[in-house]
Structure 1
Amino acid sequence: MCFSLSGIESIVVLPSNDNAHIELGLALNIDFSAFVSTGTGPYLARSYELLGNMQGIIQKYRGTGKMTGFIQNREPGCILSFTKYDLKVNYRRMQEGKPVSGGLVIEASDNEFILVGIGCSFEFLLKRGDTSKVDNISIEEGTFVIDKWIRGVF
Protein backbone atom coordinates (compact mmCIF):
# COMPACT_ATOMS: atom_id res chain seq x y z
CA MET A 1 0.00 0.00 0.00
CA CYS A 2 1.27 3.49 -0.74
CA PHE A 3 0.19 6.97 0.25
CA SER A 4 -0.22 9.92 -2.04
CA LEU A 5 -1.31 13.36 -0.89
CA SER A 6 -3.07 13.90 -4.18
CA GLY A 7 -4.32 10.36 -4.82
CA ILE A 8 -7.81 10.88 -3.45
CA GLU A 9 -8.72 13.40 -6.13
CA SER A 10 -8.27 10.74 -8.77
CA ILE A 11 -10.38 8.07 -7.06
CA VAL A 12 -13.24 10.14 -5.65
CA VAL A 13 -15.77 11.31 -8.18
CA LEU A 14 -17.92 13.91 -6.53
CA PRO A 15 -21.51 14.29 -7.70
CA SER A 16 -22.33 17.43 -9.68
CA ASN A 17 -25.30 18.40 -7.48
CA ASP A 18 -24.06 20.98 -4.93
CA ASN A 19 -26.32 19.55 -2.20
CA ALA A 20 -24.86 16.11 -2.84
CA HIS A 21 -21.36 17.56 -2.19
CA ILE A 22 -22.47 18.84 1.18
CA GLU A 23 -24.33 15.64 2.08
CA LEU A 24 -21.38 13.46 1.07
CA GLY A 25 -18.95 15.64 3.00
CA LEU A 26 -21.08 15.54 6.12
CA ALA A 27 -21.65 11.78 5.86
CA LEU A 28 -17.92 11.07 5.47
CA ASN A 29 -16.82 13.85 7.85
CA ILE A 30 -14.72 15.41 5.07
CA ASP A 31 -13.78 19.07 5.03
CA PHE A 32 -13.68 19.81 1.29
CA SER A 33 -11.45 22.84 1.90
CA ALA A 34 -8.67 20.26 2.32
CA PHE A 35 -8.85 19.70 -1.43
CA VAL A 36 -8.29 23.33 -2.35
CA SER A 37 -4.76 23.30 -3.67
CA THR A 38 -4.50 26.92 -4.82
CA GLY A 39 -1.07 28.23 -3.89
CA THR A 40 0.12 25.05 -2.16
CA GLY A 41 2.30 23.66 -4.98
CA PRO A 42 5.55 25.33 -3.87
CA TYR A 43 4.99 24.22 -0.27
CA LEU A 44 4.35 20.61 -1.30
CA ALA A 45 7.41 20.58 -3.57
CA ARG A 46 9.65 21.90 -0.78
CA SER A 47 8.13 19.47 1.75
CA TYR A 48 8.73 16.47 -0.50
CA GLU A 49 12.28 17.65 -1.18
CA LEU A 50 13.07 18.05 2.53
CA LEU A 51 11.47 14.75 3.60
CA GLY A 52 13.13 12.95 0.70
CA ASN A 53 16.51 14.21 1.91
CA MET A 54 15.68 13.00 5.44
CA GLN A 55 14.68 9.43 4.55
CA GLY A 56 17.65 7.83 6.32
CA ILE A 57 17.03 9.85 9.47
CA ILE A 58 13.31 9.15 9.38
CA GLN A 59 14.02 5.40 8.97
CA LYS A 60 16.51 5.50 11.86
CA TYR A 61 13.91 6.88 14.29
CA ARG A 62 10.85 5.11 12.90
CA GLY A 63 9.20 2.91 15.51
CA THR A 64 11.45 4.13 18.34
CA GLY A 65 8.92 6.41 20.02
CA LYS A 66 11.39 9.28 19.50
CA MET A 67 9.63 10.74 16.45
CA THR A 68 6.17 12.19 16.06
CA GLY A 69 4.32 14.29 13.54
CA PHE A 70 1.70 16.97 14.08
CA ILE A 71 -0.87 18.77 11.94
CA GLN A 72 -3.27 21.59 12.62
CA ASN A 73 -6.98 20.89 12.65
CA ARG A 74 -8.86 23.72 14.31
CA GLU A 75 -6.93 23.93 17.59
CA PRO A 76 -4.31 26.63 18.32
CA GLY A 77 -1.54 24.12 19.02
CA CYS A 78 -0.56 20.92 20.80
CA ILE A 79 1.83 19.56 23.41
CA LEU A 80 4.08 16.64 22.48
CA SER A 81 5.69 14.52 25.20
CA PHE A 82 9.32 13.39 25.07
CA THR A 83 11.77 11.84 27.56
CA LYS A 84 12.90 14.88 29.56
CA TYR A 85 10.74 17.63 28.08
CA ASP A 86 7.35 18.39 26.67
CA LEU A 87 7.24 20.45 23.49
CA LYS A 88 4.54 23.08 23.08
CA VAL A 89 3.73 23.67 19.40
CA ASN A 90 1.81 26.86 18.59
CA TYR A 91 0.09 27.00 15.20
CA ARG A 92 -0.29 30.17 13.17
CA ARG A 93 -3.78 31.24 12.23
CA MET A 94 -5.16 29.36 9.21
CA GLN A 95 -5.03 31.38 5.98
CA GLU A 96 -6.67 30.68 2.66
CA GLY A 97 -4.14 29.64 0.00
CA LYS A 98 -1.57 28.64 2.65
CA PRO A 99 -1.04 25.15 4.04
CA VAL A 100 -2.10 24.42 7.59
CA SER A 101 0.59 24.16 10.23
CA GLY A 102 2.30 20.81 10.47
CA GLY A 103 5.60 19.11 10.96
CA LEU A 104 7.79 16.44 12.44
CA VAL A 105 9.78 16.30 15.68
CA ILE A 106 12.63 13.87 16.31
CA GLU A 107 14.23 13.45 19.74
CA ALA A 108 17.82 12.72 18.66
CA SER A 109 18.96 12.53 22.32
CA ASP A 110 17.62 13.68 25.69
CA ASN A 111 18.70 17.26 24.96
CA GLU A 112 18.78 17.38 21.14
CA PHE A 113 15.81 17.66 18.81
CA ILE A 114 15.24 17.94 15.08
CA LEU A 115 12.25 20.19 14.43
CA VAL A 116 10.77 20.31 10.93
CA GLY A 117 7.64 22.29 10.29
CA ILE A 118 5.67 25.05 8.67
CA GLY A 119 3.49 27.72 10.24
CA CYS A 120 4.38 27.00 13.84
CA SER A 121 6.59 27.95 16.75
CA PHE A 122 8.05 25.72 19.46
CA GLU A 123 8.56 26.07 23.21
CA PHE A 124 10.26 23.44 25.38
CA LEU A 125 8.58 22.82 28.73
CA LEU A 126 9.75 20.93 31.80
CA LYS A 127 7.88 17.83 32.82
CA ARG A 128 5.31 18.37 35.57
CA GLY A 129 6.96 18.47 38.97
CA ASP A 130 10.44 19.22 37.60
CA THR A 131 11.80 22.32 39.35
CA SER A 132 14.88 22.87 37.19
CA LYS A 133 15.00 25.42 34.35
CA VAL A 134 14.89 24.91 30.61
CA ASP A 135 16.39 27.14 27.92
CA ASN A 136 17.58 26.83 24.36
CA ILE A 137 21.37 26.68 24.18
CA SER A 138 21.65 26.46 20.42
CA ILE A 139 19.14 26.85 17.61
CA GLU A 140 20.23 26.27 14.03
CA GLU A 141 18.32 26.79 10.81
CA GLY A 142 19.22 24.85 7.72
CA THR A 143 18.23 21.86 5.66
CA PHE A 144 19.09 18.24 5.03
CA VAL A 145 20.83 17.07 1.88
CA ILE A 146 21.00 13.27 1.57
CA ASP A 147 20.68 12.84 5.37
CA LYS A 148 23.37 15.41 6.19
CA TRP A 149 22.57 18.60 8.07
CA ILE A 150 23.60 21.77 6.21
CA ARG A 151 23.51 24.77 8.54
CA GLY A 152 22.15 28.09 7.29
CA VAL A 153 20.86 26.80 3.94
CA PHE A 154 17.13 26.58 3.31
Structure 2
Amino acid sequence: MRQSFDFSPFRRSAVGFDRLFDMLESSASAGVGENYPPFDLIKAGDDRYRVELVVAGFRRDEIEVTSHQNVLLISGRKAEEPGRDYIHRGIALRSFERRFALADHIQVTGADLHDGLLTIDLVREVPEAMKPRRIEIGGTVPRHDRIEAREQRQTEPA
Protein backbone atom coordinates (compact mmCIF):
# COMPACT_ATOMS: atom_id res chain seq x y z
CA MET A 1 0.00 0.00 0.00
CA ARG A 2 1.34 3.40 -0.96
CA GLN A 3 1.24 6.30 1.41
CA SER A 4 1.05 9.91 0.35
CA PHE A 5 3.95 12.20 1.11
CA ASP A 6 3.57 15.89 1.86
CA PHE A 7 5.99 17.92 -0.27
CA SER A 8 4.87 21.33 1.05
CA PRO A 9 7.93 21.87 3.32
CA PHE A 10 10.17 21.30 0.29
CA ARG A 11 8.02 23.53 -1.94
CA ARG A 12 8.54 26.45 0.47
CA SER A 13 12.34 26.25 0.33
CA ALA A 14 12.99 25.05 -3.24
CA VAL A 15 12.63 27.57 -6.04
CA GLY A 16 11.93 26.31 -9.56
CA PHE A 17 11.18 22.70 -8.65
CA ASP A 18 7.40 22.92 -8.99
CA ARG A 19 7.31 20.57 -11.98
CA LEU A 20 9.36 17.96 -10.09
CA PHE A 21 7.05 18.01 -7.07
CA ASP A 22 3.95 17.90 -9.30
CA MET A 23 5.40 14.88 -11.09
CA LEU A 24 6.18 13.09 -7.81
CA GLU A 25 2.72 13.74 -6.42
CA SER A 26 0.93 12.65 -9.60
CA SER A 27 3.04 9.51 -10.00
CA ALA A 28 2.33 8.49 -6.42
CA SER A 29 -1.41 8.69 -6.98
CA ALA A 30 -1.44 7.36 -10.56
CA GLY A 31 0.57 4.24 -9.77
CA VAL A 32 -2.13 2.66 -7.63
CA GLY A 33 -3.52 -0.42 -9.38
CA GLU A 34 -1.56 0.23 -12.57
CA ASN A 35 0.32 -2.93 -13.51
CA TYR A 36 -0.63 -3.74 -17.10
CA PRO A 37 1.27 -4.31 -19.24
CA PRO A 38 4.32 -5.38 -17.24
CA PHE A 39 7.54 -3.55 -18.10
CA ASP A 40 11.25 -3.32 -17.33
CA LEU A 41 13.41 -0.19 -17.15
CA ILE A 42 17.02 -0.90 -18.09
CA LYS A 43 20.11 1.29 -17.89
CA ALA A 44 22.06 0.31 -21.01
CA GLY A 45 24.97 2.74 -20.51
CA ASP A 46 25.92 6.06 -18.93
CA ASP A 47 23.42 8.00 -21.06
CA ARG A 48 21.38 5.17 -22.60
CA TYR A 49 18.19 3.59 -21.31
CA ARG A 50 15.67 1.03 -22.52
CA VAL A 51 12.00 0.43 -21.70
CA GLU A 52 10.68 -3.06 -22.42
CA LEU A 53 6.94 -3.82 -22.29
CA VAL A 54 5.26 -7.18 -22.67
CA VAL A 55 2.58 -6.67 -25.34
CA ALA A 56 1.88 -10.22 -26.44
CA GLY A 57 -1.01 -10.42 -28.89
CA PHE A 58 -0.70 -6.83 -30.12
CA ARG A 59 0.41 -6.01 -33.66
CA ARG A 60 2.57 -3.04 -34.64
CA ASP A 61 -0.41 -1.11 -35.97
CA GLU A 62 -2.26 -1.53 -32.65
CA ILE A 63 0.46 0.14 -30.56
CA GLU A 64 1.29 3.83 -30.52
CA VAL A 65 4.46 5.32 -28.98
CA THR A 66 4.50 9.10 -28.48
CA SER A 67 7.08 11.39 -26.88
CA HIS A 68 5.91 14.90 -26.04
CA GLN A 69 7.10 17.45 -23.43
CA ASN A 70 9.10 15.07 -21.21
CA VAL A 71 6.43 12.34 -21.27
CA LEU A 72 6.71 9.01 -23.06
CA LEU A 73 3.22 7.66 -23.77
CA ILE A 74 2.69 4.08 -24.91
CA SER A 75 -0.84 2.99 -25.73
CA GLY A 76 -2.36 -0.12 -27.20
CA ARG A 77 -5.84 -0.62 -28.62
CA LYS A 78 -6.91 -4.14 -29.56
CA ALA A 79 -9.91 -4.46 -31.82
CA GLU A 80 -12.45 -7.21 -31.11
CA GLU A 81 -12.09 -10.07 -33.52
CA PRO A 82 -15.54 -11.14 -34.75
CA GLY A 83 -16.31 -14.79 -35.28
CA ARG A 84 -14.35 -16.14 -32.31
CA ASP A 85 -16.24 -18.06 -29.65
CA TYR A 86 -13.97 -18.22 -26.60
CA ILE A 87 -14.45 -20.90 -23.97
CA HIS A 88 -11.75 -19.27 -21.83
CA ARG A 89 -9.88 -16.05 -22.51
CA GLY A 90 -6.71 -15.93 -20.42
CA ILE A 91 -4.56 -13.73 -22.67
CA ALA A 92 -5.08 -10.14 -21.56
CA LEU A 93 -5.78 -8.11 -24.66
CA ARG A 94 -7.36 -5.11 -22.99
CA SER A 95 -6.42 -1.63 -24.09
CA PHE A 96 -3.66 0.03 -22.13
CA GLU A 97 -1.86 3.30 -21.67
CA ARG A 98 1.50 3.66 -19.94
CA ARG A 99 3.15 6.99 -19.17
CA PHE A 100 6.78 7.52 -18.29
CA ALA A 101 8.14 10.88 -17.13
CA LEU A 102 11.36 11.69 -18.97
CA ALA A 103 14.10 13.88 -17.57
CA ASP A 104 15.26 16.90 -19.54
CA HIS A 105 17.24 16.08 -22.68
CA ILE A 106 16.08 12.43 -22.85
CA GLN A 107 15.20 11.55 -26.44
CA VAL A 108 13.55 8.44 -27.90
CA THR A 109 15.92 6.97 -30.47
CA GLY A 110 13.92 3.96 -31.60
CA ALA A 111 11.23 1.38 -30.93
CA ASP A 112 10.95 -2.25 -31.98
CA LEU A 113 8.38 -5.01 -31.51
CA HIS A 114 9.69 -8.58 -31.57
CA ASP A 115 8.21 -11.76 -30.07
CA GLY A 116 5.62 -9.84 -28.03
CA LEU A 117 8.21 -7.53 -26.44
CA LEU A 118 8.12 -3.81 -27.24
CA THR A 119 11.56 -2.25 -26.80
CA ILE A 120 12.00 1.53 -26.69
CA ASP A 121 15.52 2.97 -26.70
CA LEU A 122 16.25 6.29 -25.00
CA VAL A 123 19.37 8.46 -24.86
CA ARG A 124 20.31 11.55 -22.89
CA GLU A 125 21.58 14.21 -25.32
CA VAL A 126 22.76 17.26 -23.39
CA PRO A 127 23.25 20.30 -25.68
CA GLU A 128 26.79 21.64 -25.96
CA ALA A 129 25.73 24.94 -24.39
CA MET A 130 24.67 23.10 -21.22
CA LYS A 131 27.79 20.95 -20.84
CA PRO A 132 30.49 22.13 -18.45
CA ARG A 133 33.40 23.83 -20.18
CA ARG A 134 36.81 24.78 -18.94
CA ILE A 135 37.63 28.47 -18.85
CA GLU A 136 41.30 29.25 -19.39
CA ILE A 137 42.82 31.80 -17.05
CA GLY A 138 44.75 34.41 -19.00
CA GLY A 139 47.61 36.68 -17.91
CA THR A 140 45.77 39.92 -18.61
CA VAL A 141 45.10 42.72 -16.16
CA PRO A 142 41.87 42.14 -14.25
CA ARG A 143 38.91 44.05 -15.62
CA HIS A 144 38.32 46.08 -12.44
CA ASP A 145 41.90 47.43 -12.58
CA ARG A 146 41.36 48.65 -16.15
CA ILE A 147 38.15 50.43 -15.15
CA GLU A 148 39.86 52.21 -12.23
CA ALA A 149 42.78 53.31 -14.44
CA ARG A 150 40.38 54.72 -17.05
CA GLU A 151 38.45 56.65 -14.37
CA GLN A 152 41.70 58.18 -13.06
CA ARG A 153 42.68 59.35 -16.55
CA GLN A 154 39.30 60.99 -17.05
CA THR A 155 39.48 62.93 -13.76
CA GLU A 156 43.07 64.22 -14.27
CA PRO A 157 43.29 67.80 -15.57
CA ALA A 158 44.59 68.11 -19.11
> Which TM-score applies when normalising by structure 2?
0.30
Bigger Cα Rg: 2
> Which TM-score applies when normalising by structure 1?
0.31
